[in-house]
Amino acid sequence: MAFTYEYPHPAVTVDIVLFGYEPGSPLEVLLIERASDPYKGRWAIPGGFVDYDEDLDEAASRELHEETGIRKGRLSQVGTFGKPGRDPRERIITVACTALVSKKRCRKQAGSDARHAEWFSVGRLPKLAFDHSKILKLSYRQLVRDLTEEPRLYQMLPREFTLPEARDLFSVVFRNPFELRKVRSLLIQSGAMEVKSRSKTGEKLYTLPPKAFKPLGKQAFGHA
């Protein structure tokens, strides 16, 4: 049975703040250039409307796949944004989700409402549409919390990795320079173990089984 209401009600969307890591490059975020109004030609966070018979998590996973080609990805919900007037078309409430992915795994592609998709350095962003600057800022804070409480950060590294590889990852994602001494200390605190074998360069190798991970406070990475 169909139900209708006498009063107007909002539409619901999901926005996906996708941070990308590549060794030796700054932390980046995937944005799309809008192909139509409102904000035609402006860059925005990729996203879309939630289908009538679709769960929020399903909608977020669908949008992730449509924009990147990634079928499975761990998304964290950042929050709900529903300030009146945030979208000039109609009353729209959006649920923002975020994730960190390896850029090598991504096949960036623009959805039907975008001209194209592009990676941008988090430190050098264009002017964004809607309230997406606020959403992106809060998404980064959520990302930092997630990566200190769960072993997802180490999934960006090879199964066995060196201290310099870990240092690059920490420095890029947390946007803070790290010394090798501190990196080794953080690895030990988080449950990583030295591997008896050595790399081709003679450096010690480390590994971190997901079940051995111990949560770290975000202060450990220089964030309050």
- Tens-digit pLDDT profile for residues 158-214: 999 999 999 999 999 999 999 999 999 999 999 999 997 777 777 899 999 989 999
Lowest mean pLDDT among 22-26, 32-36, 52-56, 162-166: 32-36
What integer pLDDT is reported at residue 224 of this predicted model?
45
Say if residue 1's pLDDT is above 60.
no
May I ask the CATH architecture of the domain 151-221? Answer: Orthogonal Bundle (1.10)
Q: Where are the beta strands (DSSP E) in 24-81?
A: 28-34, 43-44, 47-49, 76-81
Handedness of CA 188, 199, 104, 61 (dihedral sign): negative
Q: Do residues 33 and 41 lie in contact, with contact meaning Cβ atoms separated by under 8 Å?
A: yes
pLDDT-above-70 percentage for the chain: 93
pLDDT-above-90 percentage for the chain: 65
Q: Do residues 13 and 108 lie in contact, with contact meaning Cβ atoms separated by under 8 Å?
A: no
What integer pLDDT is reported at residue 113 of this predicted model?
66
What integer pLDDT is reported at residue 3 of this predicted model?
66
Q: Do residues 100 and 153 lie in contact, with contact meaning Cβ atoms separated by under 8 Å?
A: yes
User: Cα(224)–Cα(217) distance, rounded to whole angstroms?
Assistant: 9
Q: Where in the chain is the domain with CATH 3.90.79.10?
A: 11-149
* CATH of region 11-149: 3.90.79.10
Lowest mean pLDDT among 69-78, 82-91, 149-158: 69-78
Token pair of 201 as six digits? 């360069």
What integer pLDDT is reported at residue 55 of this predicted model?
93
Whole-number average pLDDT of the chain? 89
